[in-house]
């Protein structure tokens, strides 16, 4: 069996023979924001509108006129602005950008030849992520009003935050649909056909456990098993315990009855206790772990923590990953830590900290490395978990030296306004940041 490196190398060779910017994800992956009537293929580009007149054919939820234009540009070898993330990585010499990584996945690689046979025909994607609603009981600091109803209420009641780009300002282009939603109706019309060819289906939000559509999907899978399907749900795991128990019971039934190939649950946290609760407003840290411990009692379930590393993470991240490690010792590979690096909004990016904060990150690198699994009975962090966090440290070593005075001034204004609205105290919660906070005030 070829190694991961060999697979990536072969995929890159194949993609580049088609075009230097060809990416299978643009055809086969889609995130549908049904509450907005928008979508995007790959999580890096911004969303675009799905024309109402198109969805008499429900597959146009994915196969929009805009997307077909981008297909043409990709096949012609043109650089596409919305794909700047991967373009920049490859220009900097990183040969395995997300263009390569995504196209190597099991939902993409086997279908590249099929795409090329008729690249402009309407296609059913093999990886679909759906956001049914923005209803959410949390207001995470780096989120937005069009993803969280709690964020929307804050902005409606208090206005945007006093930063350069008026963070949180309501965007008329991203206004949640009220009342009857034709996009959601089209999705349910498409679902019986779509699910037949799906490899991965993921529900996100908002908070999916507050959406009846989440349980409707689970009931459908219980009634009509899809043994080829990887089914995933993103949840904050901080809703009422009755809802948690209802969700976990359905997860258990889906697994026991082999209704899906694999069931993944993902939840987000990236700091410890009070620090986590400060930046993820609405989170109860101890309750969150209580729900995770209940989830991990289910046989064959997979659980992933999405720890979006940001400015609020740094000083307490070691304590947080110590809690993660304790569960790894008990549950082996049922729990995986993913550490993406937050870049937007720029004033919450960890890069704007001062070099003295690198010591906290280095401690985490050392901890993860010294607690890796060894394949001889010791459970721990896997190689890719270590490699990903090590890259964060290497990247920050350089970026933290740059001038970040504008972002720091925004950060100062943001946390002061956050404290005012939430009745919190930044310096009490983050005493290690006092010197940095004072620097931001002077920026």
Beta bridge partners, 266, equal 234, 304
Q: Which domains does the chain have, with CATH numbers?
A: 4-130 (no CATH), 132-442 (3.20.20)
Tokens at residue 306, please?
């999405």
Q: Tell me, what's the pLDDT at 332?
A: 74
95-109 pLDDT tens trace: 888 999 999 999 999
Concatenating the DSSP letter of every residue in 318-365 gives: HHHHHHHHHHHHHHGGGEEEE--B--SSGGGSGGGS-GGGHHHHHHHH
Q: Tell me, what's the pLDDT at 267?
A: 98
314-365 pLDDT tens trace: 999 999 999 999 999 988 778 999 999 998 999 999 999 999 999 999 999 9
Secondary structure class of 193 (helix, strand, coil): helix
Distance between CA atoms of 281 and 122, rounded to whole angstroms? Answer: 41
SS3 per residue for 265-286 = EEEECCCCCHHHHHHEECCCHH
pLDDT in tens, the chain (443 residues): 788 889 999 999 999 999 999 999 999 999 999 999 999 999 889 999 999 998 999 999 999 999 999 999 999 999 999 999 899 888 888 788 899 999 999 999 999 999 999 999 999 999 999 999 999 999 999 999 999 999 999 999 999 999 999 999 999 889 999 899 999 999 999 999 999 999 999 999 999 999 999 999 999 999 999 999 999 999 999 999 999 999 999 999 999 999 999 999 999 999 999 999 999 999 999 999 999 999 999 999 999 999 999 999 999 999 999 999 999 998 877 899 999 999 899 999 999 999 999 999 999 999 999 999 875 567 899 988 998 899 899 889 989 999 999 999 999 999 999 999 999 999 999 999 999 999 999 98
Q: Tell me, what's the pLDDT at 133?
A: 97
Q: What is the CB neighbour count within 10 angstroms for residue 393? A: 13
Quick one: angle between helices 285-295 and 241-256, nearest 10? 20
Tokens at residue 42, please?
């790959």
Given a contact cutoff of 8 angstroms between Cβ atoms, the answer to whether 154 and 139 are in contact is yes
Instruction: Say which residue the tokens 């805009």 belong to.
Output: 66
Concatenating the DSSP letter of every residue in 363-393 gives: HHHHHHHHTB--SSS---B-HHHHHHHHHHH
Distance between CA atoms of 349 and 356, rounded to whole angstroms? Answer: 16
């Amino acid at each position: 069996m070829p190694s991961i490196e060999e697979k990536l190398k072969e995929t890159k060779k194949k993609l580049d023979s088609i075009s230097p910017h060809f990416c299978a994800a643009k055809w086969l992956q889609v995130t549908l924001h049904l509450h907005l009537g928008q979508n995007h293929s790959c999580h890096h580009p911004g969303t675009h509108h799905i024309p109402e007149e198109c969805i008499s054919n429900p597959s146009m939820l994915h196969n929009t006129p805009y997307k077909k234009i981008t297909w043409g540009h990709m096949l012609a070898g043109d650089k596409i602005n919305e794909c700047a993330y991967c373009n920049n990585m490859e220009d900097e010499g990183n040969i395995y950008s997300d263009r390569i990584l995504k196209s190597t996945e099991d939902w993409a690689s086997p279908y590249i030849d099929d795409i090329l046979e008729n690249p402009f025909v309407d296609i059913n994607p093999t990886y679909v992520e759906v956001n049914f609603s923005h209803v959410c009981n949390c207001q995470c600091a780096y989120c937005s009003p069009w993803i969280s109803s709690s964020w929307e209420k804050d902005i409606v009641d208090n206005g945007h935050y006093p930063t350069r780009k008026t963070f949180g300002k309501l965007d008329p282009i991203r206004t949640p649909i009220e009342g009857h939603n034709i996009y959601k109706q089209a999705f349910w019309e498409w679902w019986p056909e779509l699910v037949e060819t799906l490899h991965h289906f993921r529900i996100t939000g908002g908070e999916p456990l507050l959406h009846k559509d989440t349980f409707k999907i689970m009931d459908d899978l219980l009634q009509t098993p899809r043994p080829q399907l990887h089914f995933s749900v993103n949840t904050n795991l901080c809703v009422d315990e009755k809802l948690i128990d209802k969700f976990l019971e359905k997860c258990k039934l889906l697994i026991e009855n082999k209704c899906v190939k694999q069931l993944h649950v993902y939840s987000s946290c990236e700091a410890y206790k009070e620090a986590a609760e400060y930046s993820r407003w609405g989170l109860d840290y101890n309750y969150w772990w209580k729900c995770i411990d209940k989830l991990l009692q289910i046989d064959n379930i997979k659980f992933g923590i999405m720890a979006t590393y940001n400015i609020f993470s740094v000083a307490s991240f070691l304590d947080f990953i110590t809690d993660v490690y304790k569960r790894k010792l008990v549950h082996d590979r049922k729990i995986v830590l993913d550490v993406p690096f937050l870049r937007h909004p720029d004033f919450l990016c960890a890069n704007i900290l001062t070099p003295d904060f690198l010591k906290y990150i280095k401690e985490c690198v050392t901890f993860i490395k010294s607690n890796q699994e060894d394949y001889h009975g010791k459970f721990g962090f896997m190689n890719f978990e270590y490699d990903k966090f090590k890259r964060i440290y290497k990247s920050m070593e350089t970026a933290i030296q740059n001038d970040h005075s504008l972002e720091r001034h925004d950060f100062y204004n943001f946390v002061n306004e956050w404290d005012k609205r939430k009745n919190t105290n930044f310096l009490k919660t983050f005493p290690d940041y006092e010197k940095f906070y004072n620097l931001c005030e002077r920026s």
